[in-house]
């Protein structure tokens, strides 16, 4: 009755198959184009940086492949900008320190073990 859904394969024509293939091809091609565009973004961002370094006379640094900023420096810059734009820099005089931890322990793994032991 209402729950019975039957699919009629004879209703599919060659036009339907062509439309489906073209649609999937367009989506797949657009994903490939987006992948290449996003992979070009770091190169396009580094072009003005390299030009500025060449103008300043730092040719060996401009020719190097390593122009990225470390993660801890990016975190410190973003925190400083956040505090500045939210006008919190006038209210607090505390010094914020960041300590890099290199151990590979994750608290998520210990929670996983406690979930398995709930039934015991």
Domain edges within the chain: 11-116
pLDDT, residue 18, reads: 97
3-state secondary structure of 117: coil
Instruction: Provide the residue-wise pLDDT of the chain in tens; the chain has 120 residues.
Output: 567 888 888 888 999 999 999 999 999 999 999 999 999 998 888 888 788 878 888 777 666 766 677 788 888 889 888 888 887 655 666 677 767 766 666 666 665 555 555 555
∠ CA 94-104-39, rounded to 5°: 85
> With left for phi above 0 and alpha for psi between -120 and 50, is residue 64 left, alpha or beta?
beta
pLDDT, residue 24, reads: 98
pLDDT, residue 74, reads: 86
pLDDT, residue 99, reads: 74
Report how far residue 25's alpha carbon sits from residue 18's, in angstroms, rounded to the nearest whole number.
Answer: 10
pLDDT, residue 72, reads: 84
């Amino acid at each position: 009755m209402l729950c019975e859904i039957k699919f009629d394969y004879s209703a599919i024509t060659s036009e339907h198959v062509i439309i489906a293939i073209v649609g999937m091809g367009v989506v797949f091609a657009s994903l490939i184009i987006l992948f290449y565009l996003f992979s070009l973004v770091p190169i396009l961002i580094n072009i003005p940086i390299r030009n500025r370094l060449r103008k300043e006379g730092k040719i060996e640094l401009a020719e190097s492949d390593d122009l990225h900023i470390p993660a801890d420096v990016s975190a410190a810059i973003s925190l400083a900008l956040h505090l500045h734009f939210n006008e919190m820099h006038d209210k607090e005089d505390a010094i914020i320190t960041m300590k890099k931890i290199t151990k590979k322990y994750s608290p998520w793994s210990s929670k996983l073990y406690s979930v398995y032991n709930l039934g015991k």
